[in-house]
Amino acid sequence: MALSCDAIIFDLDGVLVDSDAVITRRWKRWAEERGIPFEEVEAVQTGRPAIEVIEEVAPHLDPEAEIDRLGDEMAADTEGMEAFDGAKALLDRLPEDRWAIATSGRHRTATARMTHVGLPEPEVFVTADDVEQGKPAPEPYQQAATGLGIDPGRCVVLEDAPAGVASARRAGASVLGVATSTSPNALAAATAVIPHVKALDVRAEEAGLRVDWQHEEQA
Protein backbone atom coordinates (compact mmCIF):
# COMPACT_ATOMS: atom_id res chain seq x y z
CA MET A 1 0.00 0.00 0.00
CA ALA A 2 1.08 3.57 -0.58
CA LEU A 3 -0.11 7.14 -0.15
CA SER A 4 0.97 10.26 -2.01
CA CYS A 5 1.15 13.53 -0.12
CA ASP A 6 2.96 16.85 0.09
CA ALA A 7 4.00 16.57 3.75
CA ILE A 8 4.07 14.30 6.79
CA ILE A 9 2.99 15.44 10.23
CA PHE A 10 4.14 13.38 13.20
CA ASP A 11 2.82 12.99 16.68
CA LEU A 12 5.81 12.80 19.03
CA ASP A 13 5.31 10.41 21.95
CA GLY A 14 4.57 6.88 20.80
CA VAL A 15 5.54 7.68 17.20
CA LEU A 16 9.05 9.15 17.20
CA VAL A 17 9.94 8.91 20.90
CA ASP A 18 9.36 5.92 23.16
CA SER A 19 8.43 7.76 26.35
CA ASP A 20 5.68 5.45 27.60
CA ALA A 21 7.59 4.46 30.75
CA VAL A 22 8.16 8.11 31.71
CA ILE A 23 4.58 9.15 31.04
CA THR A 24 3.14 6.23 33.00
CA ARG A 25 5.57 6.75 35.88
CA ARG A 26 4.81 10.46 36.21
CA TRP A 27 1.02 10.11 35.92
CA LYS A 28 1.04 7.30 38.50
CA ARG A 29 2.97 9.42 40.97
CA TRP A 30 0.73 12.43 40.35
CA ALA A 31 -2.41 10.33 40.88
CA GLU A 32 -1.07 8.68 44.04
CA GLU A 33 -0.10 12.01 45.60
CA ARG A 34 -3.59 13.39 45.02
CA GLY A 35 -5.57 10.32 45.99
CA ILE A 36 -6.94 9.72 42.51
CA PRO A 37 -7.19 6.14 41.15
CA PHE A 38 -4.60 5.81 38.40
CA GLU A 39 -7.10 3.80 36.36
CA GLU A 40 -9.18 6.95 35.92
CA VAL A 41 -6.17 8.84 34.58
CA GLU A 42 -5.02 5.96 32.38
CA ALA A 43 -8.44 5.72 30.74
CA VAL A 44 -8.31 9.27 29.36
CA GLN A 45 -4.70 10.49 29.19
CA THR A 46 -3.32 8.88 26.01
CA GLY A 47 -2.82 11.43 23.26
CA ARG A 48 -4.59 14.28 25.05
CA PRO A 49 -3.23 17.51 26.58
CA ALA A 50 -2.38 16.94 30.23
CA ILE A 51 -4.33 19.97 31.40
CA GLU A 52 -7.53 18.54 29.91
CA VAL A 53 -6.88 15.23 31.66
CA ILE A 54 -6.43 17.03 34.98
CA GLU A 55 -9.63 19.03 34.46
CA GLU A 56 -11.52 15.81 33.79
CA VAL A 57 -10.24 13.57 36.59
CA ALA A 58 -9.60 16.24 39.23
CA PRO A 59 -11.97 19.19 38.70
CA HIS A 60 -11.43 20.25 42.34
CA LEU A 61 -7.75 21.10 41.68
CA ASP A 62 -6.22 24.20 40.09
CA PRO A 63 -5.31 22.89 36.62
CA GLU A 64 -2.73 25.59 35.88
CA ALA A 65 -0.81 24.92 39.08
CA GLU A 66 -1.00 21.18 38.56
CA ILE A 67 0.17 21.31 34.94
CA ASP A 68 3.12 23.54 35.81
CA ARG A 69 4.39 21.04 38.37
CA LEU A 70 3.61 17.97 36.27
CA GLY A 71 5.19 19.60 33.22
CA ASP A 72 8.41 20.26 35.08
CA GLU A 73 8.54 16.65 36.21
CA MET A 74 7.76 15.30 32.73
CA ALA A 75 10.47 17.46 31.14
CA ALA A 76 13.10 16.47 33.69
CA ASP A 77 12.43 12.71 33.67
CA THR A 78 14.25 10.98 30.79
CA GLU A 79 15.06 7.63 32.38
CA GLY A 80 14.43 4.82 29.90
CA MET A 81 13.48 7.17 27.08
CA GLU A 82 14.77 6.63 23.54
CA ALA A 83 13.91 7.33 19.93
CA PHE A 84 12.10 4.56 18.11
CA ASP A 85 14.28 2.58 15.73
CA GLY A 86 14.27 4.28 12.34
CA ALA A 87 12.85 7.60 13.56
CA LYS A 88 15.99 9.72 13.09
CA ALA A 89 16.82 8.15 9.72
CA LEU A 90 13.30 8.91 8.51
CA LEU A 91 13.39 12.55 9.62
CA ASP A 92 16.85 13.05 8.13
CA ARG A 93 15.55 11.88 4.72
CA LEU A 94 12.68 14.35 4.64
CA PRO A 95 13.01 17.88 3.21
CA GLU A 96 12.78 20.38 6.10
CA ASP A 97 9.71 22.06 4.61
CA ARG A 98 7.83 18.78 4.18
CA TRP A 99 7.43 17.61 7.78
CA ALA A 100 6.16 18.89 11.10
CA ILE A 101 5.29 17.72 14.60
CA ALA A 102 1.95 18.23 16.36
CA THR A 103 2.07 16.96 19.94
CA SER A 104 -0.24 17.17 22.94
CA GLY A 105 2.81 17.75 25.15
CA ARG A 106 3.96 21.19 26.24
CA HIS A 107 6.82 22.82 24.37
CA ARG A 108 9.46 22.48 27.07
CA THR A 109 8.66 18.81 27.56
CA ALA A 110 8.66 18.01 23.85
CA THR A 111 11.92 19.81 23.13
CA ALA A 112 13.62 18.22 26.14
CA ARG A 113 12.64 14.77 24.90
CA MET A 114 13.81 15.39 21.36
CA THR A 115 17.13 16.74 22.57
CA HIS A 116 17.61 13.77 24.89
CA VAL A 117 17.05 11.18 22.15
CA GLY A 118 18.93 13.13 19.45
CA LEU A 119 16.10 13.97 17.06
CA PRO A 120 16.13 17.16 14.96
CA GLU A 121 13.63 19.88 15.83
CA PRO A 122 11.25 20.72 12.97
CA GLU A 123 10.64 24.16 11.52
CA VAL A 124 6.93 23.71 12.30
CA PHE A 125 6.42 22.44 15.85
CA VAL A 126 2.88 22.61 17.29
CA THR A 127 2.50 21.86 21.02
CA ALA A 128 -0.22 22.16 23.65
CA ASP A 129 1.03 25.70 24.31
CA ASP A 130 0.05 26.77 20.79
CA VAL A 131 -3.59 25.66 20.52
CA GLU A 132 -6.89 26.57 22.11
CA GLN A 133 -8.32 23.04 21.70
CA GLY A 134 -6.12 19.97 21.82
CA LYS A 135 -6.66 16.55 20.29
CA PRO A 136 -9.21 15.12 19.43
CA ALA A 137 -10.12 18.59 18.11
CA PRO A 138 -8.62 19.21 14.64
CA GLU A 139 -6.73 22.38 15.59
CA PRO A 140 -3.26 20.84 16.20
CA TYR A 141 -3.09 19.26 12.75
CA GLN A 142 -4.78 22.18 11.04
CA GLN A 143 -2.20 24.50 12.56
CA ALA A 144 0.71 22.25 11.56
CA ALA A 145 -0.50 22.08 7.96
CA THR A 146 -0.98 25.84 7.87
CA GLY A 147 2.56 26.32 9.18
CA LEU A 148 3.86 24.19 6.34
CA GLY A 149 1.72 26.08 3.82
CA ILE A 150 0.07 22.83 2.74
CA ASP A 151 -3.59 21.82 2.66
CA PRO A 152 -4.35 19.24 5.39
CA GLY A 153 -5.83 17.00 2.73
CA ARG A 154 -2.36 16.69 1.19
CA CYS A 155 -0.79 15.63 4.49
CA VAL A 156 -0.24 12.19 5.99
CA VAL A 157 -0.31 12.07 9.80
CA LEU A 158 1.35 9.43 11.97
CA GLU A 159 -0.50 8.88 15.26
CA ASP A 160 -0.43 6.32 18.06
CA ALA A 161 -3.56 7.38 19.97
CA PRO A 162 -7.28 7.31 19.12
CA ALA A 163 -7.64 10.98 20.10
CA GLY A 164 -4.86 11.90 17.68
CA VAL A 165 -6.34 9.82 14.87
CA ALA A 166 -9.66 11.60 15.38
CA SER A 167 -7.89 14.99 15.37
CA ALA A 168 -6.11 14.28 12.11
CA ARG A 169 -9.19 12.88 10.39
CA ARG A 170 -11.24 15.91 11.43
CA ALA A 171 -8.53 18.15 10.00
CA GLY A 172 -8.91 16.33 6.67
CA ALA A 173 -5.61 14.44 6.63
CA SER A 174 -4.90 10.81 5.86
CA VAL A 175 -3.73 8.93 8.96
CA LEU A 176 -1.42 6.02 9.58
CA GLY A 177 -1.95 4.56 13.03
CA VAL A 178 1.24 3.48 14.79
CA ALA A 179 0.50 0.59 17.14
CA THR A 180 3.17 1.14 19.77
CA SER A 181 1.12 2.24 22.78
CA THR A 182 -2.38 1.11 21.76
CA SER A 183 -3.75 -1.91 19.93
CA PRO A 184 -4.42 -1.85 16.17
CA ASN A 185 -8.14 -2.20 16.92
CA ALA A 186 -8.07 1.04 18.93
CA LEU A 187 -6.69 2.79 15.84
CA ALA A 188 -9.36 1.43 13.50
CA ALA A 189 -10.37 4.93 12.34
CA ALA A 190 -6.96 5.36 10.69
CA THR A 191 -6.43 4.81 6.99
CA ALA A 192 -4.12 1.91 7.87
CA VAL A 193 -2.09 0.72 10.85
CA ILE A 194 1.65 0.06 11.00
CA PRO A 195 3.67 -1.41 13.89
CA HIS A 196 6.32 1.35 14.05
CA VAL A 197 7.94 4.09 11.95
CA LYS A 198 10.64 1.73 10.70
CA ALA A 199 7.93 0.05 8.61
CA LEU A 200 7.70 3.21 6.46
CA ASP A 201 9.51 3.89 3.22
CA VAL A 202 9.22 7.55 2.22
CA ARG A 203 10.54 8.85 -1.09
CA ALA A 204 10.57 12.37 -2.49
CA GLU A 205 9.12 12.61 -6.01
CA GLU A 206 8.37 15.46 -8.39
CA ALA A 207 4.73 15.41 -7.34
CA GLY A 208 5.51 15.31 -3.60
CA LEU A 209 6.14 12.40 -1.24
CA ARG A 210 5.32 8.74 -1.69
CA VAL A 211 4.69 6.89 1.56
CA ASP A 212 4.89 3.09 1.42
CA TRP A 213 4.58 0.70 4.32
CA GLN A 214 4.80 -2.99 5.13
CA HIS A 215 2.94 -5.29 7.52
CA GLU A 216 -0.01 -2.93 7.58
CA GLU A 217 -3.50 -3.66 8.86
CA GLN A 218 -6.29 -2.05 6.93
CA ALA A 219 -8.83 -0.09 8.91
- Geometric angle at alpha carbon 70, from 102 and 134, rounded to 5°: 30
* Measured distance CA(143)–CA(179) in Å, rounded: 24
* DSSP conformational letter for 80: T
Bridge-partner residues for 217, per DSSP? 193
Output the CA–CA distances (angstroms, integers) from residue 4 to 155, 163, 207, in the order listed: 9, 24, 8
Which residues, other chains included, contact 211 with Cβ-Cβ below 8 Å and sequence gap of 6+? 2, 3, 4, 5, 8, 156, 176, 200, 201, 202
The helix-helix angle for 38-45 and 20-33 (nearest 10°) equals: 140
Question: Which positions are annotated as active-site residues?
Answer: 11, 13
* Measured distance CA(32)–CA(28) in Å, rounded: 6
**What is the C-alpha R_g of the chain?**
17
